């Protein structure tokens, strides 16, 4: 988990020279002059950026939830509007948005800030939005053993907005439902209504 706390990908940090070399080579291959003033420090900047945006590889998302607490609360808990940034594994282009998490405890809860840490651990790696959605739901189900989990992820993908079909402003919404949420339309509706407030 240390990588996430320091926002550092240890692999990139340990291989910084190689990363910088390859970034420099890519710049050459796209027709840039790597000796011009604006690009002299670009390979080093990209390596430092990769240390941060891929910090999730050095975090175990299950451990990020940390210590759980015994608590008799068995009603809906929602942590909404958790902003995330990730990188599409198909084009290595950024995508970003908000994640909303709801769960019904069955005697065990986690500290509220841990949900944001979980989002960071899952999104700070090459990803697809569908996997992010399922991974968060599955990890919460595994670690907290709640009566139900629902996760909704909203995303704006630059691989779709800035290239390809070029449809800026378009959003993708994915959801995962587990336990009571799967069987109760009323519970799903309550969650969806509360995240829109």
Catalytic residue among 20, 51, 88, 100: 88
88 belongs to an annotated ligand binding site: yes
Catalytic residue among 91, 141, 156, 190: 91
Distance CA 87, CA 126 (A): 5
Cα(77)–Cα(37) distance, rounded to whole angstroms? 52
22 in catalytic set: no
What does the DSSP assignment read for 74-93?
Answer: -S-EEEEEEEEEEEETTT--
Among 17, 74, 89, 130, which one carries the catalytic annotation? 89
Pairing status of strand 126-127 against strand 148-157: unpaired
Alpha-helical runs (H) found in the chain = 2-5, 10-14, 16-29, 42-53, 61-64, 113-123, 129-144, 158-161, 180-183, 185-196
User: Could you confirm whether 89 is annotated as catalytic?
Assistant: yes
Instruction: Please say if 87 is a catalytic residue.
Output: no
Task: Give yes or no: 18 in active site.
Answer: no
Catalytic residue among 22, 32, 141, 159: 159
User: Given 20, 51, 87, 129, which residue is catalytic?
Assistant: 129
The answer to whether 159 is annotated as binding is: yes
The answer to whether 100 is a known ligand-binding residue is: no
Query: 117-135 burial, b if ≥16 CB within 10 A, otherwise e?
Result: bbbbbbbbbebbbeebbbb
Q: Which of 18, 73, 90, 142 is catalytic?
A: 90
Q: How far apart are CA 168 and CA 13, in angstroms?
A: 34
88 has catalytic annotation: yes
State the catalytic residue, choosing from 87, 157, 161, 180.
157
Residues annotated catalytic, as ranges: 88-91, 129, 157, 159
Annotated binding site for Zn(2+): 88, 91, 159
Annotated binding site: 88, 91, 159
């Amino acid at each position: 988990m240390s990588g996430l706390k320091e926002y550092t990908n240890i692999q990139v940090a340990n291989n910084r020279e190689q990363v910088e070399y390859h970034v420099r080579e890519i710049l050459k291959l796209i027709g840039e002059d790597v000796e011009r003033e604006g690009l002299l420090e670009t390979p080093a900047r990209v390596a430092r950026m990769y240390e941060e945006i891929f910090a999730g590889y050095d975090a175990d998302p299950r451990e990020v939830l940390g210590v759980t607490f015994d608590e008799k609360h068995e009603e809906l808990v929602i942590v909404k509007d958790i902003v995330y940034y990730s990188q599409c594994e198909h084009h290595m282009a950024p995508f970003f948005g908000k994640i909303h998490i709801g769960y019904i405890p069955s005697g065990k809860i986690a500290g509220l800030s841990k949900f944001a840490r979980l989002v960071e651990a899952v999104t700070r790696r090459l990803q697809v939005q569908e996997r992010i959605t399922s991974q968060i739901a599955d990890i919460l189900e595994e670690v907290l053993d709640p009566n139900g989990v629902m996760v909704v992820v909203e995303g704006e993908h630059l691989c779709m907005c800035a290239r390809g079909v070029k449809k800026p402003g378009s959003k993708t919404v994915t959801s995962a439902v587990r336990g009571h949420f799967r069987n109760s339309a009323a519970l799903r509706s309550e969650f969806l209504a509360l995240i829109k407030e």
